[in-house]
Amino acid sequence: MNSRRADGFTLIELIIAVALIGMAFAMGFAALRLAARSMESTDRLVNDLEELRVARTVVQRQLSQALPLRESPGERQVNFHGEVQQLEFIAPAPSQGERMMGLYRYRLHVAAHGPERGLLLEYQPYAPGTVSDWSAASAPALLVNDIKACEFSYFGVNQGDTEEWQSSWVGVARMPRMVRIVMIRGHGSSEPLELVVALPVEYEL
């Protein structure tokens, strides 16, 4: 029998064994970190999609009831004011049981909410001829948080009688056909999130 083998492993063999064990541990740790990051990204994506689904439901529910009201019978423009980062419209409040709660003025806009910016929905009772005072409105409902960039646009007939997406909808005699909200989150992917909501079929009051 070989006397070297009887005496045990050599120093070189021990160094190689320790190096192989270290490499195995390093690879295992890297795999665990990769799996953790993948799970974190998946959870964040699922949360983003769920948040977007809820936001779409709320926005769709309110905008689908928007009314083309005018402040007075002689006015042409409807009470629907759309800007790049803000939208105001009139719609019934959600019914409670069989009771209708009257008309409310809604504001959908992007503003600071805590340390971040978010897509907020506010509302207050609507009274024709009164000026909006959003300082007295209800506490804003946060629909989407951590927004880095956001843009509203409106689809309808422009001054040239062509239907297209427009960056504002102010002083128009009818409501747009659709509203689009494109958002970029402050975390994760830079791919934009998009909400497109169809408004009621146009009609004259």
Most confident of 19-33, 101-115, 178-192: 101-115
* Among 158, 198, 175, 201, CA closest to 76: 175
Q: Is the pTM of this model over 0.85?
A: no
Mean pLDDT of all residues belonging to the chain:
79
Sequence-ordered strand ranges (E) for the chain: 81-82, 86-92, 103-113, 116-125, 141-144, 147-157, 163-166, 178-185, 193-198
Q: What is the pLDDT of residues 86-96, one digit of tens each?
A: 999 999 876 55
pLDDT category, 168, cuts 50, 70, 90?
very high
Report the pLDDT value the prediction gives residue 205, as an integer from 0 to 100: 42
Task: Reply yes or no on whether the pLDDT at 1 is more than 50.
Answer: no
Domain locations in the chain?
55-198
Report the pLDDT value the prediction gives residue 7, as an integer from 0 to 100: 57
Task: Reply yes or no on whether the pLDDT at 103 is more than 50.
Answer: yes
* Among 158, 153, 157, 149, CA closest to 168: 153
Report the pLDDT value the prediction gives residue 204, as an integer from 0 to 100: 45
